[in-house]
Amino acid sequence: MNLILLGAPGAGKGTQAEVICQHLSIPAISTGNMIREALKSGTEMGLKAKSFMDAGKLVPDEVVIGIVKERLAQDDCKNGFVLDGFPRTIPQAEALDKMVKIDKVIDLEVSDEAIIARMSGRRVCEKCGATYHLLYKKPKAEGVCDICGGTLIQRKDDHPDTVKARLEVYHKETEPLIAHYKKQGVVKRVDGQEEVADTTRLTLAALEA
């Protein structure tokens, strides 16, 4: 099953992506991890992305799309995948439409107020990129990643003012994707709950529907 997880930054897409990939035995693919992998393995698109990042510029669409194409061509995606963080814009979605058929889009809906409160508690491993939360997903040892032992940090974009700005960008650029995929009849809406387990139950039910 080829899936996309849509939702505002901080809606819990990464957590649900992990659950879905375990449930369906398919890889969860996030844009950040994809770019990191491409940089690490020195692929053609990875090197292109590095040149933009080194110059402090945003990685342009055609490079991100190229990285996604490289990743989806790998063997572990043969039976499907979960995309988290891509596509972000209509042009990216249209490029993806030409690459693969998307079976379902899970639209994770959470209010802006809840997201601002939620994201200020988020912590990320500076080494492997694993995510934690001071309330919902605590590491075993405070400030230390369970997976690789790296240091957990609060990213600049998890500060409340930055979150508000990111939400504005989401509503303007990414939210239109819901209408794009509704035309294809593949959108399933999931209302994010206070408890992660409740959101997971609704997400898995949406997959079966």
Per-residue pLDDT, 82: 96
36 is catalytic: no
| Catalytic residue (choose from 88, 137, 189, 201) | 88
Please tell me which of 8-22, 28-42, 97-111 the model is most confident about, judged by mean pLDDT. 97-111
| Catalytic residue (choose from 127, 155, 172, 182) | 155
- Distance, CA of 84 to CA of 67 (rounded, Å): 14
Per-residue pLDDT, 117: 84
Taking residues 69-98, what's their average pLDDT? 94
| Catalytic residue (choose from 13, 71, 104, 123) | 13
pLDDT at 157 over 80: no
| Catalytic residue (choose from 71, 104, 118, 166) | 166
Nearest to 77 by CA among 128, 38, 21: 21
Mean pLDDT of the chain, nearest integer: 92
**Preceding amide of 87 cis, omega within 30:** yes
pLDDT in tens, 133-142: 988 899 999 9
166 is catalytic: yes
Taking residues 99-105, what's their average pLDDT? 96
pLDDT at 195 over 90: no
- pTM recorded for the entire structure: 0.79
Cα separations (Å) of 12 from 1, 136, 182? 20, 10, 21
